[in-house]
Chains A and B, each alone.
Chain A
Amino acid sequence: MKTDRIITILCLVGAIVYPLVLRDPYYMHMAILVGIYVLLAISINLLLGYTGQLSLGHAAFFGVGAYVSSLLYLNMKIEMWGGMILALFASGLLGYIAAKLAFKLRGAYFVIMTIGIAEVLKLVGLNWVDLTKGPMGLTDIGVPRIDLGGLGVIDFANKVPYYYLILLIVLLCFFFQYRLVHSSFGRAFISIRENEDLAESVGINCYKYLVIVVIISASMAGLAGALYAHYVSFIDPGVFGFFISVNAVVMVIGGGQGTLVGPILGAILFTLIPEWLRFFGNARMAVYALLVIFIVIFMPKGILHYTKWLLRLSRREANE
């Protein structure tokens, strides 16, 4: 328990001083992308890791968040703050509809439904040209500035303030997840994963909790989408892409599903690994794919599990 706390504090301090140490724009860019993927991974973990339902269509919520916030900014001059909140509600609403559709669908059927939702939205994004500009995408999505009077201006167009904004949101979402999982809500989620019939026969309304979890998960993904759109300032229907959903699921499974920290570890590693593999040139993604297969085969419980195991092993050796 004590080492856990020390590691948590170290990580937090590391995340806070990171921009001071590595001011290079490339490193800041990677850190911001990692942050956005951490949000997406936390969101998928709530659903996959705790209720055991796999979504391969989380890009639907991510994309809706991105488009809602961008369109509000471009058409109605609503700043990112309002856009983010409305993106959260819009994707939460979509989550509610998706959960209602899912009703009795579990396992493979649930997966197919989520893929379907994302693909339908992608087609809408491509073809509703009047609103979304189709494949041309939306450009010039701006970010807010905060004028602190005499203290200067925080311009979120700079990477460092944006990094801290994302760090703050990630911490809030992590905290939210932590509280949720350690409560009667969390136990109800897990009971769906473990044994739904038994859960029903002790009085747990599994369907209600599935709806709750999908809404929360979808809202977080929407928030990540909005943050992404304002950061890169350009989006096209690619934000609904299958690749985004799959990538985030790989992060959750690779890192350690159903754990609090695993998805964060996964999001960090699986965003950075493709970068480290750049010296393979064109073979980069093939090597990445092999690595993912390797991890899934030899570390089915996720990297976190084996890190802990290694820690325990080294501690035992130190004692002997």
Chain B
Amino acid sequence: MNEAILCIDHLTVRFGGLAAVNDVSFTISRNEIVSLIGPNGAGKTTTFNAVTGFLKRISGSIRFEGEELVSLKPHQIARKGIVRTYQITSLFPSISVLENIRTAHHAKEHETLFDVLFNTRRKRQTEAMTLKKAHEILDFIGLREKEKLLGSNLPYGEQRLLEMGIALAAEPRLLLLDEPSAGLNDTETQRMKELIRKIREQGVTILLVEHDMKLVMGISDRIVVLNFGKKIAEGAPEEIRKDPEVIKAYLGERRRDAKR
């Protein structure tokens, strides 16, 4: 149960002279929900970008199920089972909701140009499999009735759900969620929280970046806190809530404030 799925070891990412992520290490166990929190600019999204291969020239090591990820390309990492969502809504805007999901199932489709041209049995089976999977996911995220709408025509809250669907269609084993509740109202956030729980129940491990503390505290098994690129705390939600370093990072120190 407590076997590590992702090990981040002495990760450092520099942009020019600035260390956006500075010597950060933590591990995630299989089927955990771990949250990565910290004030703006703490290096949370940078950590995501490093894990998913969108950054070059990073130092340290990132291992997924024992395999080194540094130097792999984003699509290679995705195929290993790490899929991410984006902080700013990111979907395929001018194709239908159904096509959005089908497109994202790409890594599980194995057809050659020959299959495509001659419409072989393998091609027909692949299409049927992808369609079935896409419908399962649409049912799961509750957008089945909207499958014919264009991605960009969905209301904002449903676009965020569709993003989750897109990520799920790639069949992740580790899902990185970058502020899934950003811009959502209370009901929608509640719905998102339920969805994240349901995804975990299916055996997916989750790393979450989130500003909504109620959501973070309510859902996380463990929390990792970053500030100015450094890890300042790690532990269960109750421990983090009381951690003086964390309180300092979020609220500042009384004495220094008074002096100004």
- Interface: B123 (CB within 8 A): yes
Take A201-B78, A202-B169 as given contacts and tell me if A185 and B90 are in contact as well, using a CB distance cutoff of 8 Å: no
Which of B75-89 touch A at CB < 8 Å? 75, 78-79, 83-84, 86
A201-B74 CB under 8 A given contacts A183-B123, A184-B111, A190-B92: yes
A200 at interface by CB-CB < 8 Å: yes
Contact B166 A185 (CB under 8 A): no
Interface residue A195 (Cβ < 8 Å from any Cβ of B): yes
A-B contact count (CB 8 A): 91
Does A199 touch B at the CB level, under 8 Å?
yes
- Give the segment of A3-11, A12-20, A203-211 that binds chain B: A203-211
Q: Are A202 and B166 in contact (CB under 8 A)?
A: yes
Mark each residue of chain A from 176 to 215: 1 if its CB lies under 8 Å from any CB of chain B, else 0: 1001100111011011001101111111111000001000
Instruction: Establish whether residues A195 and B93, one from each chain, have CB atoms under 8 Å apart when the complex forms.
Output: yes
B128 is an interface residue with CB less than 8 A from chain A: no
Residues of A within 8 A of B75 (CB): 199-201, 203-206
Contact of B102 among A187, A195, A206 (CB under 8 A): A187
In the bound complex, residues from chain B placing their C-beta under 8 Å from that of A185 are 111, 113, 116
Tell me whether A203 and B106 are in contact (CB under 8 A).
yes
Q: List the A side residues contacting B27 at CB < 8 Å.
A: none
A interface residues, how many (CB within 8 angstroms): 23
Contact of A179 among B94, B103, B119 (CB under 8 A): B119
Query: Which of A180, A190, A204 has the most chain B CB within a 10 Å cutoff?
Result: A204
Residues of B within 8 Å of A202, CB to CB, are 78, 83, 103-104, 106-107, 166-167, 169-170
Contacts of B54 in A (CB 8 A): 197, 200-201
Looking across the interface, which residue of chain B has its beta carbon closest to that of A188? B106
CB-based nearest B residue for A206: B75
Q: Which residues between 190 and 248 of chain A lie within 8 Å of chain B, taking CB atoms?
A: 190-191, 194-195, 197-206, 212
Cross-chain contact of A200 among B78, B94, B117 (Cβ < 8 A): B78
The CA of A191 and the CA of B92, in the complex, are separated in Å by 7
Q: Is B91 an interface residue (CB 8 A)?
A: yes
Chain A neighbourhood of B130, CB < 8 A:
184
Q: Is B73 an interface residue (CB 8 A)?
A: yes
B95 is an interface residue with CB less than 8 A from chain A: yes
- Complex Cα distance, B116 from A34, in Å, reads 28
The list of the 8 closest CB pairs from A to B, nearest first, reads: A203-B107, A203-B78, A194-B92, A202-B170, A200-B74, A184-B109, A202-B104, A183-B116
| Chain A interface (Cβ < 8 Å from any Cβ of B) | 176, 179-180, 183-185, 187-188, 190-191, 194-195, 197-206, 212
Give 7 A-B pairs besides A179-B119, A197-B54, A202-B169 with Cβ atoms closer than 8 angstroms. Answer: A184-B130, A187-B106, A195-B93, A197-B74, A203-B83, A203-B107, A204-B75
Query: Which B residues are within 8 Å of any A CB, using their own CB?
Result: 52, 54, 73-75, 78-79, 83-84, 86, 90-95, 99, 102-104, 106-107, 109, 111, 113, 116-117, 119, 123, 126-127, 130, 166-167, 169-170
17 residue pairs bridging A and B, Cβ less than 8 Å apart: A187-B103, A188-B103, A190-B92, A190-B95, A191-B103, A194-B93, A197-B54, A198-B86, A198-B91, A199-B106, A201-B74, A201-B84, A202-B167, A202-B169, A204-B107, A205-B73, A212-B113
